Amino acid sequence: MASELSKYPPMLLDERPLDFRAPGWIWEIKFDGYRTTAMFGSGICELRSRNGANATEWFPELRKSLAAVKGGPYIVDGEVCVLDVVGRSDFDALQERARQRKWFEGAKPVTYCVFDLLAVGSRDLSSLPLIDRKEALVENLSPVPRFVLLVGHFEEHVEGLFHEAVHQLELEGLVAKRADSVYRPGTRSTEWVKVKRKGAIPSD
């Protein structure tokens, strides 16, 4: 199991200004959490941190939920976060969870904000266009497992969303991705770009 997930170290973001109206891009909210890949389904679940550490036991509520998913195994990419009542990432609470490396009394539950599907069963999806992988993600994880949020995307009115939602809610920023981008494990790609809110403090 570990050998399969280890084939998919996270594809990393570039960071630069980008025209909100540039054609061919889709946009996502940037969740402020721990970048995590997962392989799960039919009784198994493995979680790996951005640096390859085995994080399966850190978040037992997530492990139990994902292991109960039928079919697969599925390999996905996302951010493990603690979200507040309006859906903002609470990075301090997440760090408290992760420092313990286990569940503890009073711990805030995590949410796995999943934005990409990399494999289903023996089929590798990484060479498909991103927009097709996101469609497959919604199709395969329906109903959505408990403690999982499927990260949506948008293509229009991006500048208004950035100034109204991102600034007003003090989110870290947005992530722009080429709609036709393939997934390149372990590579920092210019086809995925983080556009930060001025003054935001990144988690990594």
Closest CA to 200 of 167, 154, 165: 167
CA dihedral 179, 15, 22, 118 (to 10 degrees): 0
Q: Answer whether 54's CB lies under 8 Å from 91's CB.
A: no
Q: Which residues are catalytic, by number? A: 30
DSSP-assigned letters across all residues of 11-42? PEEEE----TT-TTEEEEE---SEEEEEEEET
Q: End-to-end alpha-carbon separation of the chain, Å? A: 27
Q: Which two three-digit tokens encode residue 95?
A: 């760090």
